[in-house]
Chain A
């Protein structure tokens, strides 16, 4: 079946580093997305991984291990504006997205 798991909530301190994990079971896996969603707003695209390894984009990095069905989003130098939900989504063989429930990240000063 199709399944995505990520923690419900995480708390971190401003200026620190946080890693949000995501595990998936997706038939015909076609890549893994991370989106950021502020309350009441639509998700915005952060990253896409289809090959194993780490992709770095400024303060945000995303990692994928296809053999383990595992990904993480790494946020460095946390800022208060990073407080949001982070959604993990995998793409299946039909190019459809399967969404996780999201991880609410709370940043404390």
Chain B
């Protein structure tokens, strides 16, 4: 299957700082990328959907000024958590599809963010 690389795998940052997470599709062009967060023992929660070259579509309740998503190319999407707080500590996962109607989503390895 296709490979999605997410970096970093884990990060610890101080409260008030910003953290950038990268999601790359290594062997295919991802027209659509999804960003999820997952709290312990809970389901994946979709934060936003991004299409290359356009603004991301955020799910209800997700602050777009706090979680900045950039999908500047067909192989790279970034999520920046701005002014991070301890409650932002979570597991963030990206996934990508090659086309709108593709049914299989390929996941990155996930990023464990801890804000202290």
Contacts and interface: CB of A to CB of B under 8 A. Distances in A.
Interface of A: 30-31, 33, 40-45, 48, 50, 87, 91, 95-97, 99-102, 104
A42 B104 contact: no
A95 B100 contact: yes
B103 A43 contact: no
B109 A42 contact: yes
A102 B104 CA distance: 18
B46 interface: yes
Contacts of A50: 103
Contacts, number: 45
A31 B44 contact: no
A91 B108 contact: no
A44 B43 CA distance: 14
Interface in B87-112: 91, 93, 97, 100-101, 103-110, 112
B1 interface: yes
Interface of B: 1, 6, 41-46, 49, 91, 93, 97, 100-101, 103-110, 112
Contacts of A91: 103
Contacts of B109: 41-42
